[in-house]
Structure 1
Amino acid sequence: MLAVRARALFDGVGPGLVDRPTVLIENGRIAAVRPGGVPVVGAEILDLGAATLLPGFIDTHTHLAFDASDDVIGRLTAADDATLLDRIRAAARASLAAGVTTVRDLGDRAYLTLRLRAETARDPAAGPHVIASGPPLTTTRGHCWFLGGRAEGVDGVRPAVRERAERGADVVKVMVTGGDLTPGSDPYSVQYGRDELRAIVDEAHRHGLPTAAHAHAVTGIREAVATGFDTVEHCFFLTEDGVDFDRRVIEEMTRRGVIASLTLGALPGGPPPPAHIARRIPSLVTGLATLREAGVTMALGSDSGIFPVKAHGSYPYGMTAMTDFGFTPLQALRTATSTAALACGLGGRKGRIAAGYDADLVAVGGDPVADVAAVLDVVAVIRGGVRVK
């Protein structure tokens, strides 16, 4: 048994910090959480001193196959599978070092992240627990077509979903709209009709798989919610010339329990956002407050890999960005832990420090409830009961 001690603990859901906790770990699970420095007999002691313990971070939206270079598409398409898998492994290790103990990978090539999933299940030090979608469903020359997930028409999308189920994917990712990363793709236009989207959701749910909809724009969010998707990725309600947080759509998200998987945050020091993005920020702050007030469940993803400022390992900057968008530090911490676990379908085993949960922990310097920037100072990571940093 391992006994982990620290100055304080945030359990993933509570209203504040627990002082001087001891977390008992056995066989990869949390056996108990004891307060106030209670003596422990017969256990190995790991004393992390003045650190604060948190549940391991959960990244609800990443692309381990993308290398965060200036030519993501070119480098991916030029790489053979062996080279690409090595890059995926490196990205996973970088994420783990930043305290991310679970990732939901929403778009790879040739189902390579499923191979990584098996590797990290055997060896927790190799990377985070992986939730994998395989290649995202998209249209001919649609967003991220180069990942190999083209499927069109009701008669095309149903077998594509079945293929993912047969391959062992954990979630079905769909490019409901286009995206900025793909030349010639329009992020404001819906790529699939309602019949196709309903068929995707129906087939996925028939196989016990959740569905994730790529949609920055309100046009795509509206269609994803209407057709029954479980999570909406990005979910910024963009229009071609601004932002439109449609209250009817938001009310429907709340009613149906649709989770918004927000992709906030970036490394500091990069170029400023383009003018068309910068001018939307005040409206985004107001709109995200509308989501909160309406009771929409929000989780945090990174979209790591797509640009240099979205490098793998940058996930903690998403939590600091959330406070810039009007969230409190506690709200930001929950979106990265307990509610992120819900978005990944793991609410009963991850995202909390409590008896029976997976022993995925991250220790940070300082008090992240007082200043969420403390999450940038990761001093220890435990994955599946094994200290990996």
Structure 2
Amino acid sequence: MNSLAVHAGSMFDGFSLSGPATVHVSGGRIVRVDRTGALPADGSEVIDLGRSACLLPGLIDTHVHLAFDAGSDPVTSLAAASDSELLAHMRAAARSALLAGITTVRDLGDRGYLSLALVDEMAEHPEQGPEILAAGPPLTTPGGHCHFLGGEVEGAEALRAAVREHHTRGCAVIKIMASGGHMTPGSVPPHASQYGLEDLRVVVDEAHRLGLPVAAHAHGIQAIRDAAEAGVDSLEHVSFLTADGIASEPDLIDAIVRKGTFVSLTLGMDPGEAVRPPQGMAAHAMAAHVNGVLDTYSNLHKYGANVVIGSDAGIGPWKPHNVLPHGVADLARLGVAPLDALISMTSLAARLCRVEGRKGRITPGADADILVVNGDVEHDPAAVLDVQAVFRAGIRVC
């Protein structure tokens, strides 16, 4: 069993920042954390990354699509790929995320449960990619948003059966499309609901009975309201859309905060890529839409919602699979302190994903998934982009 000690000038443990620290690793787990910063004298391999380096838990992206290629038309690309070609792309996408310090991802929509093959691969060879918490094909209405992934289902009994199948296959989370979306021609628009309150309750009750959390894709206000009332564990996107634009409703935000529902905000964009408006939306309308969403996100954080970041990586060129760390800067522009943003990407995200204690923190007993960056993570949102090293299950991958 290989042992090593990783030393740096500061450490963010998933909750707070402290000074020099040495993290002792054995068998893929953290066994001891020395906050005096003393270097070991027991023969362990020592990796001293210097005074300007900061140790962090590996980041957690709560919403990715490894099957989407982050190209200009990921849906067409996916449809044209064989399963073997798609798996090869998904492996590369997972590797890209890992090298950016993203050591855990929730894959919230694949084709034909392909992500479960990667779950097994990464368990055998953790140095090849992040731990994947897979949803499989998302539940959607016939012809609904992302129906091409294979998760079309309608009616209470069929919904229960679909949840049971996902559980039997080994999925870690159930994803349901409570509203329409932007990427599926012919489906209902994003502001419109696909499932009503009773259907959502069926899915939540069955999933929770089986010990699985539920993530609800919800752009429209009614879909957000119904999903929160049904008891989903996380609301994805949370755009507060209406037919006329964005209308952030304080009473609904209050309800989300009171229930403790997680909101997975769609942040993190490659600053070198322009966001392409959905078909039929003018550029100026897209800009107004983005500003409205950001105002809503700011209110959710300000009023105390459980905010995590799901990048939605893969859906376009501005969303490569290594994009999550840019979310720190995005939250900073909303008035969120960098350390609070890092909490959203580590310990809080781990709580949502039901891997709390094992992921998202640097503490004895946790997985040795460690990101090392250069700079002042307390004051500089860009510091998390300056990656010095990444360890996955105690194995240095860069």
The alpha carbon displacement at 1:285 in A equals 4.1
Of 222, 227, 239 in structure 2, the residue corresponding to residue 224 of structure 1 is: 227
Q: Give the alignment's TM-score, normalised by structure 1.
A: 0.96
1:189 aligns with 2:216: no
Give a deviation string over 1:100-142, Cα, whole Å, max 9, x none: 0000000001111111011111111110011000000001110
The alpha carbon displacement at 1:241 in A equals 3.0
Contact kept, 8 Å, 2:275 with 2:318, in 1: the verdict is no
Of 352, 360, 363 in structure 1, the residue corresponding to residue 372 of structure 2 is: 363
Number of the residue aligned with 2:212? 209
Number of the residue aligned with 1:270? 273
1:54 aligns with 2:63: no
Number of the residue aligned with 1:292? 301
Indicate the larger mover: 36-45 or 112-121: 36-45
Give a deviation string over 1:36-87, Cα, whole Å, max 9, x none: 3324122110111121111100000000000011121111111111111111
Cα distance change on mapping 1:285 and 1:306 into 2, 3 Å: closer
Number of the residue aligned with 2:340? 331
The alpha carbon displacement at 1:328 in A equals 1.2
Of 8, 31, 48 in structure 1, the residue corresponding to residue 10 of structure 2 is: 8
The alpha carbon displacement at 1:377 in A equals 1.1
Of 373, 381, 384 in structure 2, the residue corresponding to residue 372 of structure 1 is: 381
Gapped regions of structure 2 (runs ≥ 5): 277-282
Contact kept, 8 Å, 1:261 with 1:343, in 2: the verdict is no
* Letter of the 2:184 counterpart: T
Number of the residue aligned with 1:63? 65
The alpha carbon displacement at 1:368 in A equals 1.6
Give, in whole Å, the separation in 2 of the partners of 1:29 and 1:93.
Answer: 21
1:318 aligns with 2:366: no
Paired residue total: 387
Give a deviation string over 1:259-287, Cα, whole Å, max 9, x none: 00111121112225632232244444443
* Letter of the 1:22 counterpart: T
Matches within 5 A, 1:40-119: 40-42=40-42, 43-49=44-50, 50-119=52-121
User: Does the residue aligned with 1:270 lie in a helix, a strand or coil?
Assistant: coil
Give a deviation string over 1:350-371, Cα, whole Å, max 9, x none: 1111122111110111112110
Gapped regions of structure 1 (runs ≥ 5): none
Number of the residue aligned with 2:279? none
Number of the residue aligned with 2:314? 305
* Letter of the 1:310 counterpart: K
Contact kept, 8 Å, 2:237 with 2:266, in 1: the verdict is yes
Give a deviation string over 1:188-209, Cα, whole Å, max 9, x none: 1000122211111111111111
Cα distance change on mapping 1:304 and 1:272 into 2, 3 Å: closer
Give, in whole Å, the separation in 2 of the partners of 1:39 and 1:200.
Answer: 51
Give, in whole Å, the separation in 2 of the partners of 1:285 and 1:133.
Answer: 27
1:234 aligns with 2:237: yes
User: Does the residue aligned with 1:84 lie in a helix, a strand or coil?
Assistant: helix
Percent of pairs identical after alignment?
49
1:243 aligns with 2:243: no
- What is the alpha-carbon root mean square deviation over aligned residues? 1.4
* Letter of the 1:329 counterpart: P
Indicate the larger mover: 317-326 or 270-279: 270-279
Contact kept, 8 Å, 2:127 with 2:393, in 1: the verdict is no
Give, in whole Å, the separation in 1 of the partners of 2:163 and 2:291.
Answer: 38
Give, in whole Å, the separation in 1 of the partners of 2:370 and 2:169.
Answer: 30
